[in-house]
């Protein structure tokens, strides 16, 4: 058995010093050991940087430096474009000053259509949650069924290939006609556009489950429910989470376009309203808000996916 013992640098240097010390010097210095030990130690040189701290610093720089350079490049290009177009496109400084004013009170209410950016973002997230939730409830089980039975796969795949490329704005009038309201029409548009990534990725994951797993299930005479919960779901989970991540990104992309046409409250309506007021600064602020919210949603789903691992267990 091997055990590890931690030694400080002072302890590690003690044996080497003892090897180079003669018995005579030990004897002559024995009487003065106590008096020397009582004297305070004064540092004679600056302690070197520990390798562990240096590696952590290098890792931090490697993680933070590329995004910082990319952001600096974006701001630089933005400044060049703003200066070359005169006053039509505001520069970073003017937009930052406007953003400070906008976010000083993001949750004000002056009426049903005059609300702060915070309420607009929350309204959009609520619609995205409802539309995406309904799409997950329908799309994930449908993907399992399509992947499990080849006859259904051949029957449904042409329909998916036909409906999936349709633009979100083409579905919006159908929602307005059926549901007679802007809010349910926007939720319907999110549903019909975000369901396809979950259906396709789940079905592909089921079809790629090793046939040996299904042979074992057949030998054990497992029910379809047991096969789905104990064999298919763990194996399909990486594909399913990828489909969920793509669906959330699609839902957030769709809601902005849908709210521009339906009106009411939402980040898309806020963009369109500011365009009608020719407030380009607020439009640029809305672009950054949309991007930051999408980035946070992406980060949360990546963290969720990284919490699960799939390993093939070999007997």
**pLDDT for 43 beyond 70:** no
Domain parsing of the chain, residue ranges: 123-266
Higher pLDDT, 44 or 58: 58
Rounded to the nearest integer, the mean pLDDT of the chain is 83
Q: What would the DSSP string read from start to end of 78-101? A: HHHHHHHSTTSS--HHHHHHHHHH
Please give the angle made by the CA atoms of 139, 143 and 147, to the nearest 5 degrees: 175
The answer to pTM > 0.85 is no
Stretch 269-296: mean pLDDT: 93
Instruction: Report pLDDT digits (tens) over 169-215.
Output: 899 999 999 998 889 999 999 999 999 999 999 999 999 998 888 88
Stretch 13-30: mean pLDDT: 44
* Three-state DSSP string of 263-293: CCCCHHHHHHHHHHCCCHHHHHHHHHHHHHH
**pLDDT for 44 beyond 70:** no
Cβ atoms of residues 238 and 205 within 8 Å: yes
**Tokens standing for residue 135:** 């799409």
What pLDDT shows up at residue 208?
92
Confidence of residue 247 (pLDDT cuts 50, 70, 90): very high
Cβ atoms of residues 198 and 141 within 8 Å: no
Stretch 217-240: mean pLDDT: 89
Instruction: Report pLDDT digits (tens) over 132-158.
Output: 999 999 999 999 999 999 999 999 999
Q: Where are the alpha helices (DSSP H) in 220-279?
A: 224-226, 233-262, 267-276
Confidence of residue 61 (pLDDT cuts 50, 70, 90): confident
What pLDDT shows up at residue 23?
45
Higher pLDDT, 215 or 19: 215
Task: Give the lowest-confidence range in 9-23, 104-118, 193-207, 248-262.
Answer: 9-23
Computed over its alpha carbons, how large is the radius of gyration of the chain? 31
What pLDDT shows up at residue 313?
52
Instruction: Report pLDDT digits (tens) over 66-110.
Output: 989 999 999 999 999 988 887 789 999 999 999 999 999 999 888
**pLDDT for 34 beyond 60:** no
**Tokens standing for residue 306:** 């990284």
Q: Does domain 123-266 have CATH number 2.30.110.10?
A: no
């Amino acid at each position: 058995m091997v055990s590890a013992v931690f030694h400080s640098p002072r302890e590690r240097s003690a044996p080497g010093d003892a090897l180079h010390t003669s018995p005579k010097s030990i004897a002559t210095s024995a009487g003065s050991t106590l008096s020397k030990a009582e004297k305070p130690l004064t540092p004679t040189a600056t302690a070197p940087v520990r390798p562990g701290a240096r590696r952590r610093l290098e890792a931090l720089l490697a993680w933070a430096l590329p995004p910082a350079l990319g952001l600096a490049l974006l701001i630089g290009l933005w400044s060049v474009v703003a200066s070359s177009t005169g006053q039509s496109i505001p520069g970073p400084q003017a937009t930052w000053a406007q953003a400070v004013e906008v976010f000083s009170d993001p949750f004000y209410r002056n009426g049903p259509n005059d609300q702060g950016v915070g309420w607009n973002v929350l309204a959009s997230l609520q619609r995205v949650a409802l539309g995406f939730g309904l799409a997950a409830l329908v799309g994930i089980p449908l993907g399992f069924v399509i992947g499990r039975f080849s006859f259904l796969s051949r029957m449904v795949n042409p329909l998916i290939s036909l409906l999936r490329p349709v633009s979100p704005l083409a579905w919006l009038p159908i929602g307005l006609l059926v549901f007679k309201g802007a809010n349910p029409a926007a939720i319907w548009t999110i549903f019909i556009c975000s369901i396809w990534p979950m259906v396709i990725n789940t079905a592909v994951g089921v079809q790629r489950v090793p046939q040996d797993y299904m042979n074992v299930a057949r030998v054990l005479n497992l029910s379809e429910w047991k096969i789905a919960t104990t064999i298919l779901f763990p194996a399909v989970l990486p594909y399913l989470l990828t489909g969920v991540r793509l669906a959330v990104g699609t839902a957030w992309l769709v809601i902005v376009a849908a709210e521009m046409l339906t009106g009411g409250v939402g980040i898309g309506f806020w963009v369109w309203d500011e365009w009608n007021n020719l407030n380009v600064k607020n439009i640029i602020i809305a672009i950054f808000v949309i991007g930051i919210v999408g980035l946070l949603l992406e980060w949360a789903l990546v963290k969720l996916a990284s919490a699960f691992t799939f390993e093939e267990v070999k007997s």
